[in-house]
Amino acid sequence: HYSSDYVFDGSGHEPRDEGAPTGPLSVYGRSKLDGEERIRASGCRHLIFRTSWVYAARGGNFARTMLRLAGERDSLRVIDDQIGAPTGADLLADITAHALRSARRDQALAGTYHAVAAGETSWHRYACLVIDWAREQGLPLKVAPGAVEAIPTSAYPTPAQRPLNSRLSTRKLREAFDLTLPPWQHGVQRMLTEAFR
């Protein structure tokens, strides 16, 4: 089962571990937490993966949106006080396949895990990485270098309130399944190469 960083209230500045108190801020977050609780209450063996900032090369995603806007506008304003780890759907698929194989052999591995790429960033720094990559590739951009302004969440309200702190500790996942997780930048650059070649 896939869950979300939205089960937390986003307070603090440290990565949350799986046992940290939950406190969803939105209907979406409450529905994800309810799903987790129902699975646990069923008594079935399960793997729950909480993740955040998921993207894939196909379909819409934050990077594609930033590149579209960077091609249309002279400047951009992007939130800089929400912190998390952009995580590729391909990485989640690899983690899931490995965890399922391991959990079949060792039933004690059932449970809840945080599954995100290594490192952390803000939406603003994520946007800058994407735009810098596009500029290096020679993609047409209207936005000038240095014209991506960092703004607070309060300047860009959304229907579902996002947690400011989406940092998720992956220590339990890495130790249980003997995994080394790649830096978020590697996955984003691979996705961009696949999406725009």
pLDDT for 88-116, tens place per residue?
A: 999 999 999 999 999 999 999 999 999 99
* Domain ranges within the chain, ordered by starting residue: 2-195
Q: In the structure, what pLDDT confidence band is assigned to residue 170 with cuts at 50, 70 and 90?
A: very high
pTM of the model: 0.93
CATH number of 2-195: 3.40.50.720
Give CA–CA dist 60/9, Å, rounded: 26
From 6, 28, 55, 156, active-site residue: 28
Instruction: Report which of 171, 188, 46, 174 is spatially closest to residue 112, judged by C-alpha positions.
Output: 46
In the predicted structure, residue 197 carries a pLDDT above the cut 90: no
pLDDT over 90 (residue 24): yes
With beta carbons less than 8 A apart as the criterion, state whether 7 and 34 touch: no
Rounded CA-CA distance 24/69 in Å is 30
Task: Using the predicted structure, report yes or no on whether residue 126 has a pLDDT greater than 90.
Answer: yes
**pLDDT tens by residue, 128-168:** 999 999 999 999 999 998 899 999 999 988 887 889 999 99
Q: Which amino acid type is present at position 15?
A: P
Average confidence (pLDDT) over 14-35: 96
**Residue 27 scores a pLDDT above 80:** yes
Looking at residue 177, its amino acid is: F
The pair of structure tokens assigned to 25 is 């801020």
Q: Which residue has the tokens 């059932």?
A: 110
Is 28 in the active site?
A: yes
